[in-house]
Structure 1
Amino acid sequence: MQTTATPTARSKVGAIFRVTSGNFLEQFDFFLFGFYATYIAHTFFPASSEFASLMMTFAVFGAGFLMRPIGAVMLGAYIDKVGRRKGLIVTLSIMAVGTFLIVVIPSYQSIGLLSPLLVLIGRLLQGFSAGAELGGVSVYLAEIATLGRKGFYTSWQSGSQQVAIMIAAVLGFALNNMLEESAIRDWGWRIPFLVGCMIVPFIFILRRRLEETEEFKTRRSHPEMGQAFRTLLCNWQVVIAGMLMVAMTTTAFYLITVYAPTFGKKVLMLSASDSLLVTLLVAISNFIWLPIGGMLSDRLGRKPVLIAMTLLAMATSYPALRLLAGAPSFSMMLGVLLWLSFIYGLYNGAMVPALTEIMPGEVRVAGFSLAYSLATAVFGGFTPAMSTGLIQLTGDKASPGYWMSFAAVCAFFATLYLYRRSTGQLQSARNSVG
């Protein structure tokens, strides 16, 4: 009996590692784009003012997120039809092309307007693939999870993203110590992106060894793309509510990781090394809290964890950032972002399995991906640009806290709606049986 259990456990760990590897690459590149935004702005988007240059860079960063809903529907429906394994190899291929493009594009000084145009195309390709990558990975983990541990299993989707941030932050920290600021600005910022390209073949090998989930193999029908579109349209209320539920997790994540280094350097005037170190420690904190959030939701239920964390975010996001803005320092930035990391980690650990559970089974990847992509496009992806714009408009360095609080309000009411709706459907089913 023990001999059978051990290989099964090993195969589960191996499957988690293989499926989340592409998720790692996606977040690795996204974080690098956010952290090196000032250098990317200098290389591809020169403008009359630093603010305008940075805003153009963050706008292109956000444009990739606008492609996510399209990728979610098209690639998500494809994954629901052909299987998780084949679909996730396709998303990885598209993502790799977009990443490689950003590495090799010459500067604006070299090729003029073609330079920012190619960066935009690279970001759009990355966004298109990421639209279904995250949903495909989350659904795969949910479908291989052992009974009563779905929250714990799916938490590793986000956990892989934290590992990506840790490695990206360590690379950035090493570059800051090895190269002069001028060298990093001119060419050094490309090195971490090149590292991302170099690990793509390894991730391909891992993905090719994935096994299809038993739940997908036993499903009788796999809808064509037209059927998938119609099913999503019929369930538009669930998709929109799911989008609002995701709003808090995607906003919090991009605030405390992707935007945090720029916030530390440009707004709080901390050193690049300090900002990177804070981001590294926040990623470690996220990595710890995510599986705890998943396990708590397995034990207590998804709804109590989701409600508690949205209320905490509403009550403390702005005051915490206000405290930081009033006394900017390494230790204060670390303390505030670790608090927001605690909220994000527990919330996301419960939210991902909840989203896989509320979507219709036949379009689970497409539905999950569309809800998540819409939230990222509307909320998370534009968090760096929104935060930069709010600070410029109001003069209040803590104003990004308003954006996170707003996302928490959306998530709070969406959670109430979705669980009231599912309870009502269950009661109706019971009445019809009776």
Structure 2
Amino acid sequence: MTLPRPLPEPRSRAPDIVRVASGNFLEMYDFMVFGYFAAAIGAAYFPSDDPLGTLLKSLATFGVGFLMRPLGAVILGSFTDRYGRRKGLLLTLALMSIGIVTLAVTPAYATIGVLAPVLILFGRLLQGFSAGAELGNVSVYLAEIAPPGHKGFYVSWQSASQQVAVVVAALVGVALSSVLDAAQLAAWGWRIPLVLGCAVVPFIFLLRRHLRESDEFERRGERLTSREIARSLWAGRGAVLGGVALVLMTTVSFYMITAYTPTFGKLLHLPERANLWVTAGVGLSNLIWLPLMGALSDRIGRRPILIACTVLAVLTAYPAMAWLVDEPSIGKLIAVELWLSAIYASYNSAMVVYLTEVVPASVRASGFSLAYSLATAVGGFTPFIVTWLIGRTGNLAIPGAWLTGAALISLAAVLFAHRQPIVPSADGLGTKGPAAS
């Protein structure tokens, strides 16, 4: 009689998933709040007679934090590869917390003058520095604690925690717009979501303090020094650039359908509260698709999903946006955003775990983080870039063209890069093999 195959231990690992994903939630929550209230933040810190100019300055400040991510990826990622996933995750959380507090308490330009935008810029740069390794640390940790054959499902919870942040931040925005008028929101109401983010910091620290180190990291013998890690990353710069191209569609599509949606809705003259509801719906859609498609990638492999999603984005992104802006409505906005959400979440669920599999274990956190952060340094500027392009061309559908370009680059990376990736072996340490994933 054949005994049934034992099931993985999701319950015993679930607390670690929650502990590691909680900080990822905080990082994305703060990014989303900044994106949702970009116009109000711009008015507070970058006052100008030109509303578009004020918005562009605010969106540029939102994006400039992404420029610090590559530096954070190398410095903090190498720290994590050398001293452990747990210590790295605690360090990125500490730096992230300083950034969010700075944004929450800095007085407006009218109160302290030019020091206000300087402090806001400092807060964003510090957040970008910490975020450069946070996402990579979380993804690598989840990949290393996953049972064999379930990496896609486990790693998908890194992105899923971000979607919870998208939903929560949007619902907070809806609630505020229900009880405060536009003048109150612009004057001080936008600070409330940031203060709420500060309030949960101690709780997240408490969760992460009890995080256990991954078994795979502890099994590793000799660990590279920071200099050796940097040398390895430089030697593998071709693979890193391939990873950047692979990640690009994720970062462009994510910030376009989440952080930029309230601003884009305003440009379409759609109701502000309805735009936030649409954004919450996008986050919920992403949250559903991510673990489902992550589990599917465990069954059929990563590359079929990556190819299908990039092709769909190339074929449909611009036509969908053109259809939306022809006669804008909330119904059309919902339809387009949910379609792009399905493409983004399906692609991302396979892409993130694929990236953890093609980076050698000795530089896994730093290599993953560097590739992802370099792509985010481009994709994170999506709200600024597409707003500038709309201003220059007058074409409200231009965000679709921007996404199409990113999808073409990622499709090329999937087709031509990493033909022989490192795929997980039975012991989880990785072996060279064909691109089965």
The TM tier, using the shorter chain, reads: over 0.9
Separation in structure 1 between the aligned mates of residue 285 and residue 49 of structure 2, nearest angstrom: 39
2:167 equivalent in structure 1: 166
The CA distance in 2 between the partners of 1:96 and 1:110, in whole Å, is 24
- CA deviation string 1:62-91 (max 9, x = no partner): 110000000000000000011000110000
Structure 1 segment 170-185 matched on structure 2, within 5 A: 170-185=171-186
Shift of 1:359: 0.6
Alignment of 1:325-340 (within 5 A): 325-340=325-340
Is 2:76–2:88's contact at 8 Å kept on the other side of the alignment? yes
Count of residue correspondences = 421
- One-letter amino acid matched to 1:406: G
Secondary structure, counterpart of 1:67 in structure 2: helix
Instruction: Report the secondary structure of 2:178's partner residue.
Output: helix
Which residues of 2 match residues 108-187 of structure 1 at below 5 A?
108-187=109-188
Alignment of 1:57-136 (within 5 A): 57-136=58-137
In 1, the alpha carbon distance for the partners of 2:118 and 2:34 equals 16
One-letter code aligned to 1:75:
L
Contact kept? 2:357, 2:421, Cα under 8 Å: no
Per the alignment, residue 272 of structure 1 pairs with: 272
Are the equivalent residues in 1 in contact too, given 2:152–2:297 (CA < 8 A)? yes
The Cα of 1:429 is off from its aligned counterpart by 7.1
- Conservation of the 8 A alpha-carbon contact between 1:303 and 1:419: no
Indicate yes or no: 2:397 matched with 1:414.
Answer: no
Distance, in Å, in 2 between the alignment partners of 1:219 and 1:163 is 33
Report if aligned partners of 1:68, 1:132 keep a CA contact under 8 Å in 2.
yes
Task: Give the distance between the partners of 2:116 and 2:129, measured in 1 at CA.
Answer: 20
Instruction: Say if 1:151 and 1:297, in contact at 8 Å, map to a contact too.
Output: yes
Secondary structure of the residue aligned to 1:286 is helix
- Aligned-partner Cα distance in 2 for 1:318–1:182: 35
How far is 1:10 from its partner? 2.0
How big is each residue's C-alpha offset from its partner over 1:145-185, in whole Å with a ceiling of 9 and x where there is no partner? 11111000000000000001111111110000111111110
CA pair 393-141 structure 1, distance change in 2 beyond 3 A:
same
Q: Retained in 1: the 8 A contact 2:72–2:132?
A: yes
Deviation at 1:420, TM superposition (A): 2.2
Deviation at 1:327, TM superposition (A): 1.6
Contact 1:293 1:346 (8 Å CA) reproduced: yes
2:426 corresponds to which residue? Answer: none
Partner of 2:156: helix, strand, or coil? helix
Is the counterpart of residue 189 in structure 1 residue 228 in structure 2? no
- Structure 2 counterpart of 1:399: 398
The aligned residue for residue 312 of structure 1 is 312
Report if aligned partners of 2:27, 2:131 keep a CA contact under 8 Å in 1: yes
Residue 111 of structure 1: CA displacement? Answer: 0.8
User: Is contact 2:29-2:166 (8 Å) kept?
Assistant: yes
CA offset digits 1:374-419 (Å, max 9, x no partner) = 00002x1100001101111111100011110010011011111223
TM-score by length of 2: 0.94
Tell me, in whole angstroms, the C-alpha distance in 2 between the residues paired with 1:188 and 1:98. Answer: 19
Provide the rounded CA distance (Å) in 1 between the counterparts of 2:145 and 2:178: 43
Question: 1:178 is aligned with what amino acid?
Answer: V
Alignment of 1:298 onto 2:312: no
> Quick one: which amino acid aligns to residue 221 of structure 1?
E
Matching residue of 2:425: none
How far 1:48 moved relative to its partner?
2.5
Counterparts of residues 173-322 of structure 1 (less than 5 Å) = 173-265=174-266, 267-322=267-322
Partner of 1:382: 381
Q: Distance in 1 between matches of 2:414 and 2:8?
A: 38
- How far is 1:422 from its partner? 3.5
Q: 2:10 and 2:377 mapped to 1: Cα distance?
A: 37
**Structure 1 stretches of 5 or more lacking a match?**
none
Which digits, 9 at most, give the CA deviation of each residue in 1:207-242, with x for residues without a partner?
001000000000012111100000101111111000
Q: Which amino acid aligns with 1:277?
A: W
Find the aligned partners of 2:412 and 2:7 in 1 and give their Cα distance: 43
- Measure how far apart 1:9 and its partner are: 2.9
Separation in 1, partners of 2:381, 2:169: 21
Which residue identity lines up with residue 224 of structure 2 in the other structure?
Answer: P
Q: 2:143–2:151: 8 Å Cα contact kept in structure 1?
A: yes
Q: Tell me the residue number matched to 1:13.
A: 14
Match of 1:351 in 2: 351
Cα distance in structure 2, aligned partners of 1:148 and 1:298: 6
Q: Tell me the distance in 1 between the aligned counterparts of 2:9 and 2:404.
A: 43
Q: Which runs of 5+ in 2 are unaligned?
A: 1-5, 423-430
Give the whole-Å Cα distance in 2 for the aligned partners of 1:78 and 1:298: 30
* Identical residues among aligned pairs (%): 52
TM-score (norm 1): 0.95
- Cα RMSD (Å) of the superposition? 1.6
Q: Distance in 2 between matches of 1:148 and 1:240?
A: 27
- For residue 8 of structure 1, report the CA deviation from its aligned partner: 4.2
CA distances 1:311-369 after superposition (whole Å, capped 9, x unpaired): 00000000000010012111100000000000001000000000000111100000000
Name the CA distance, whole Å, in 2 between partners of 1:289 and 1:280.
14
Whole-angstrom distance in 1 between the partners of 2:43 and 2:276 = 20
